[in-house]
Amino acid sequence: MKLLSFHAANIPAGGSKRLGEQEDYAASICSLASRKSNEGETIVNPQFQEPADGRLCFREPIPEIADAARFLDAAASAHLRGRSDLAEELIRLADIPEIAAWVESILGSKSPYVQYRDVSDAQPHVSKEERVTVRMPRQAEKHSLHLRDGYCCRFCGIPVIRRAVRDRIRKLYPRALRWGKPNVERHAAFFAMRVQYDHVVPHARGGNNDIDNIVITCAPCNFGRMSYTLEEVGLADPRLREPVTSTWDGLERFR
């Protein structure tokens, strides 16, 4: 099976760096961001090619997502050092338009990356009365899921962030972390990275609420699948491979 080029293990841990190193690091990623803005549009290849054993995710993450994760990780470190000016700038730098375009290319019924097919022996849809009544995991279960899955999407591997953490950062930096109602008014990286608790066997197909049936995902990987089975969308079972291991902490230290 082909491995994704993106791997969150490359995200450095700002928390482990000494002060001088952190500032050098922040300066170097700021210059990286300005180079990025001069590059052309991200090339979209809408060819639907599905290997026999299923794809890992609908669309491979673009490199800008790893860049954004580095900016946000550095923002958390800058904030904790009292450098709120730098933290604010880094949060803004992570708001990369190419990431918003990546998300939008996966969401929606017209996405060239998400296609469904009939599978004759797929689990049938079950009526609302027959579904497991408690749909979402409880708080303690969510915590276990985050630890198990390393705060990264089990399909595409990108880092994820809990809503409570996003709200916390938004209170501290409301201008940098924009979060309007329409998608276009949302910070692109926080939009892509907002965590979802995805039922591998969909809830609407009789999937239960055990944590063995739930994986952490990013928003596009979850919304793209809706209530289709993995086989119906041609995705490999993410539980058959190890979660991403990295130093990404979901920005949980941001306080």
Q: Binding residues for Zn ion, per CB under 5 A?
A: 153, 155-156, 218, 221
Residue among 107 and 211 whose Cβ is closer to Zn ion: 107
Measured over the CA atoms of residue 192, residue 197, residue 198 and residue 204, the dihedral's sign is negative
Task: Compute the least distance from the CB of residue 158 to Zn ion, in Å.
Answer: 5
Task: Compute the least distance from the CB of residue 217 to Zn ion, in Å.
Answer: 5
Residue among 161 and 218 whose Cβ is closer to Zn ion: 218
Residue among 131 and 146 whose Cβ is closer to Zn ion: 146
Task: Compute the least distance from the CB of residue 70 to Zn ion, in Å.
Answer: 18
Residue among 5 and 37 whose Cβ is closer to Zn ion: 5
Instruction: For helices 84-93 and 63-80, give the axis angle rounded to 10 degrees.
Output: 170
How many C-beta atoms surround the C-beta of residue 239 within 10 A? 14
Residue among 74 and 218 whose Cβ is closer to Zn ion: 218
Say if residues 202 and 117 touch (Cβ distance below 8 Å). Answer: no
Task: Compute the least distance from the CB of residue 151 to Zn ion, in Å.
Answer: 12
Distance CA 206, CA 196 (A): 19
Scanning the chain, the segments in alpha helix (DSSP H) are 19-36, 63-80, 84-93, 97-106, 139-149, 163-172, 188-193, 219-225, 230-233
Task: Compute the least distance from the CB of residue 3 to Zn ion, in Å.
Answer: 15
* Residues 6 or more apart whose Cβ sits within 8 Å of residue 48: 112, 113, 115
Q: Which tokens hold the place of 68? A: 């954004």
End-to-end Cα separation, the chain, in angstroms:
40
Q: Left (φ > 0), alpha (ψ -120 to 50) or beta: where does 205 sit?
A: alpha
Residue among 92 and 142 whose Cβ is closer to Zn ion: 142
Task: Compute the least distance from the CB of residue 135 to Zn ion, in Å.
Answer: 20
Residue among 156 and 177 whose Cβ is closer to Zn ion: 156
Helices (H) and strands (E) in the chain, counts: 9, 2
Task: Compute the least distance from the CB of residue 134 to Zn ion, in Å.
Answer: 24
Distance CA 150, CA 250 (A): 8
